[in-house]
C-alpha cells in the first residue's frame, strides 16, 4: 500500500528561475491613497490644536514634522515593497514572496488548503482590486493573504485553487 521511491534531492523541482507574477499595477496607488486619507485625518486632528489657547509652538511643529516624515515614508514605501511581492502558481502548490528587508517565500500545497476567500475594501474596489486569502489548518497564522490582485485575477485564482484543493481532497 505504501510506496516510497527514493528521490534524489537535486531532482526535486526547485524555485530558482521561476517567473514571479506581479501584483496589479494600480495596487501601489491604492496603498498611497489609503495612507493619504489616514494622514489627512491626522493632519486635521493636529490642526484642531490651533483652537487650544496659549499652546507653545514647538510641540505642534514637532507633530507636523513627524507627520511629514510619516507621509514621505507612506508615499515611497509602497513603490519599493509592492515590487518585491509576487506569486507563482504551480501544478500542486502556490508560492508567495514578499519583503524588502526581511524577505520570505511561503509555499502552500493545494491539498492542504481548507478554504479560500476573496475580499475587498471600498478603496480597493474603487481601483478594481481584491485580496485573496488561503486558509490551512492550525492556529497561529494558518493563512496566507495576497493583497493587491486585480478583481478578475483574484476570482479566477479562487476558482482555480478551490478546484485544485477539491481534486486533492477527493484523491485522499
Partner 1 sequence: MNTTDQGTWRRTSPFAILFFVGRILRLIAKNAWQSLAPLFALLIAYQGDIASKLTLGGIVFAVAITAGSLLSYWFFRFQISDDSILIRQGVIKKKQLDIKFDRIQGINTRQNPIYRLLGLVTISFDTAGSAGSEGNLPAVTRGFANSLRDRIGKPRTVELADTADSKAGSGALVHLNWGDMIRIGLADRRALIVFAFIGPLMERIDENIDRYISNFIRIAAANGIELDAASGISIGLTIFVAVIFLFVVLSIAAAFLRYHNFQLFLDGRTLRSHAGLITAHEHSMELGKIQTLRLQQGILQRLLGRYRFTARQATSGKDRSQKVFIVPVVTAELADTLRKKFLAPEGGRLSQDPASDRFVSISPYYMRSKILFIGLLPSLSATIALSIALGAVALLFLLWLPVVAAASYLNWKRAGFMHDDQEIVRRSGLLGYRTVSLLFRKVQRVTVSQSRYQRRKGLASLRMYMASGSVRVPYIDHGRAKQLRDYILYKVESSQQAWH
CA angle 141, 20, 163 (to 5 degrees): 60
| Distances from the Cα of 103 to the Cα of 112, 124, 144, angstroms | 23, 25, 15
Q: Footprint of partner 1 on this chain (CB under 8 A)?
A: 1-2, 4, 6-7, 9, 12-16, 92-93, 99, 101-112, 136-142, 144, 171-172
| Cβ-based nearer residue to partner 1, 123 or 131 | 131
- E runs forming strands in 19-62: none
| Cβ-based nearer residue to partner 1, 45 or 166 | 166
Task: Work out how close the CB of 50 gets to partner 1 at its nearest, in angstroms, rounded to a whole number.
Answer: 34
The four Cα atoms 31, 128, 23, 167 give a dihedral, to 10 degrees, of 130
Write the burial class of residue 67 (CB in 10 Å: 0-12 exposed, 13-18 middle, 19+ buried).
middle
Task: Work out how close the CB of 167 gets to partner 1 at its nearest, in angstroms, rounded to a whole number.
Answer: 12
| Cβ-based nearer residue to partner 1, 15 or 40 | 15
Task: Work out how close the CB of 126 gets to partner 1 at its nearest, in angstroms, rounded to a whole number.
Answer: 32
C-alpha cell at 35: 495612507
| Cβ-based nearer residue to partner 1, 4 or 50 | 4
Task: Work out how close the CB of 63 gets to partner 1 at its nearest, in angstroms, rounded to a whole number.
Answer: 23
Amino acid at each position: 500500500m505504501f510506496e516510497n521511491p527514493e528521490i534524489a534531492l537535486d531532482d526535486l523541482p526547485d524555485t530558482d528561475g521561476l517567473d514571479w507574477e506581479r501584483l496589479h499595477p494600480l495596487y501601489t496607488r491604492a496603498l498611497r491613497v489609503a495612507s493619504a486619507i489616514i494622514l489627512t485625518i491626522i493632519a486635521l486632528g493636529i490642526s484642531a490644536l490651533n483652537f487650544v489657547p496659549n499652546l507653545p509652538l514647538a510641540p505642534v511643529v514637532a507633530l507636523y514634522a513627524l507627520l511629514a516624515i510619516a507621509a514621505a515614508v507612506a508615499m515611497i514605501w509602497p513603490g519599493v515593497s509592492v515590487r518585491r511581492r509576487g506569486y507563482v502558481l504551480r501544478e500542486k502548490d502556490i508560492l508567495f514572496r514578499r519583503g524588502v528587508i526581511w524577505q520570505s517565500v511561503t509555499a502552500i500545497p493545494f491539498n492542504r488548503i481548507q478554504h479560500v476567500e476573496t475580499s475587498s475594501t471600498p478603496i480597493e474596489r474603487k481601483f478594481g482590486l481584491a485580496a485573496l486569502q488561503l486558509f490551512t489548518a492550525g492556529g497561529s497564522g494558518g493563512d496566507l493573504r495576497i493583497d493587491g490582485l486585480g478583481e478578475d485575477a483574484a476570482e479566477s485564482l479562487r476558482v482555480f485553487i478551490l478546484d485544485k484543493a477539491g481534486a486533492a481532497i477527493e484523491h485522499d
